[in-house]
A and B are shown apart, each in its own frame.
Chain A
Amino acid sequence: MKKCIVCEKELNENIIDKHDVHFCSEECVKNYEEKLKKLSDVVNWDNCC
C-alpha cells in the first residue's frame, strides 16, 4: 500500500505525485516544501563542514 511521505496515511485515491514520491494532499506537499526550504535556508555549505 502506498503511503503519503509526510503523514504516512495510506493512499487509496487522489494520489499526488511530486518530488519522486506520493502525497495525500496539497497540504502535505506544502509541508514537505516548507521543510525543504527550511533546510536550504539554514545551511551555508561554505561553512557547514
Chain B
Amino acid sequence: MTSLIGTIAANMFNFELKNNDDSVIDLPEYLNQKRLLIVFFRGAWCNYCKKQLKEIQSSISEFDKLNIKIIALSCDNKLNSNLLKEFLKLDYPVLSDNDYKVIDSFNFRTVYKGKEVSKPAIMLFDNNGTELYRYVGKEYDDRIETNELLKQLSNL
C-alpha cells in the first residue's frame, strides 16, 4: 500500500485530498519536494479518460525525471476509483472527489448527458501548492497528448 496517511501540514494547497481509505494525504510529505500533477478525469466509464490514464502510466518514468508525482481524480465513488486504479494497473493514486470539493475549487464541474462530471483537465503545482500549469479540455475528447504535455512541462 502506498502510505499517504497523515494530516495536512502547513502548506499553500487550498484543497485537501483523501485516499480511498479515507485517510487525508499529507501533500508536502507525499510530494517530498517534487511537483504535483493532478489529472482530472470524467469517470471510469469514459474511454478517453482510461486511454489518457494508461498513457500517463506508460510515461511515468518521464514524469519522475521532471520531478513530478501524479494523482488522478474524478467524481466517481471510492469503490470505482480504486477498481479503476487496479484494473488499469496504475502506480499513481486514483482518488474520489464525489462531493466535488476539489473539482469545484477549480470550476471544473460540467454536465455531460445529464451527469455532473469534471472537465478533463491537468494541473501542475509546485510542492508549496503554487499553480504552475493548467490544461482544461474544451470538449470531452479534448486532451493534451502525453508527449506534448511532457514537452510543455519540461519547459517549466
Q: Which A residues contact B (CB, under 8 angstroms)?
A: 2-3, 5-6, 17, 19-22, 32, 35-36, 39-40, 43, 45, 48-49
Interface size class of B (residues with CB under 8 A): 10 to 19
**Main DSSP-derived SS at the B contact region:** helix
Given A3-B22, A20-B21, A21-B78; A40-B87 close (CB under 8 Å): yes
Q: Are B87 and A21 in contact (CB under 8 A)?
A: no
B146 contacts A by Cβ under 8 Å: no
A3 to B20, CA, bound (A): 10
Q: Are B83 and A39 in contact (CB under 8 A)?
A: yes
Q: Which B residues contact A (CB, under 8 angstroms)?
A: 1-2, 19-22, 47-48, 50-51, 54, 78-79, 82-83, 86-87
Which B residues are CB-close (under 8 A) to A40?
87
Q: Are A22 and B21 in contact (CB under 8 A)?
A: yes
Number of A-B contacts (CB under 8 A): 43
Which A residues are CB-close (under 8 A) to B21?
2, 5, 17, 20-22
A20 to B138, CA, bound (A): 34
Q: Are B83 and A35 in contact (CB under 8 A)?
A: yes
Q: Are B47 and A36 in contact (CB under 8 A)?
A: no
Contact partner of A6 (CB less than 8 A), chosen from B48, B54, B79, is B79
Q: Are A39 and B82 in contact (CB under 8 A)?
A: no
Q: Could you name 25 residue pairs across A and B whose Cβ atoms are closer than 8 Å?
A: A2-B22, A5-B20, A5-B78, A5-B79, A17-B1, A17-B21, A20-B1, A20-B20, A20-B21, A20-B82, A21-B21, A21-B82, A32-B79, A32-B83, A35-B79, A36-B86, A36-B87, A39-B87, A40-B87, A43-B87, A45-B54, A48-B47, A49-B47, A49-B48, A49-B51
